[in-house]
Amino acid sequence: MYASQKRRCHVLWHRVAPTLAPRFTLIIADLPGYGWSAAPPALPDHAPYTKRAMAHAMVEAMETLGFVRFRLAGHDRGARVGYRLALEHPGRLEQLAVLDIVTTWDMWHRMDARLAARAWHWLFLALAEPFPEKLIASDPKFFFDYRAAAGTKAQSVDFSMRARSRIITRLTRIWPGSTPCAKITVPATPAICNMMRPIAPPAKKSAAPC
Question: 35-52: per-residue pLDDT in tens?
Answer: 888 888 877 777 888 899
What is the per-residue pLDDT across 154-183, written as a single tens digit (0 to 9) for each?
Answer: 555 555 555 556 676 777 766 665 555 554
- The helix/strand/coil state of 33 is coil
Q: Is residue 52 in some structural domain?
A: yes
Q: pTM, whole model, 2 decimals?
A: 0.68
Q: What CATH number is attached to the domain comprising 158?
A: 3.40.50.1820
Q: pLDDT band at residue 59, thresholds of 50, 70 and 90?
A: very high
Domain-embedded: residue 62: yes
The length of the chain, given as a count of residues? 210
Q: Is residue 17 part of a domain?
A: yes
Looking at the structure of the chain, the number of domains it has is 1
Find the domain containing 52 and state its range: 9-114+150-208
- What are the DSSP calls for 125-175, one per residue? HTSPTTHHHHHHHHSTTTS------HHHHHHHHHHHHHTT----SEEEEEE
Say if 135 falls within a structural domain: no
Confidence of residue 67 (pLDDT cuts 50, 70, 90): very high
Contact status, residue 106 vs residue 191, Cβ threshold 8 Å: yes
Residue 125 contacts residue 132 (beta carbons within 8 Å): yes
HSE-CB at 84 with a 13 A cutoff on CA atoms is 28
**Residue 194 forms part of a structural domain:** yes
In a domain, 143, yes or no: no
157 domain-assigned: yes
On whether residue 85 sits in a domain, the answer given is yes
pLDDT, tens only, 108-130 = 888 888 888 888 888 888 888 88
Helix ranges (H only) for the chain are: 17-20, 51-64, 77-88, 104-109, 113-118, 120-125, 131-138, 150-162, 191-194
Burial bucket for residue 85 (CB in 10 Å: 0-12, 13-18, 19+) = buried
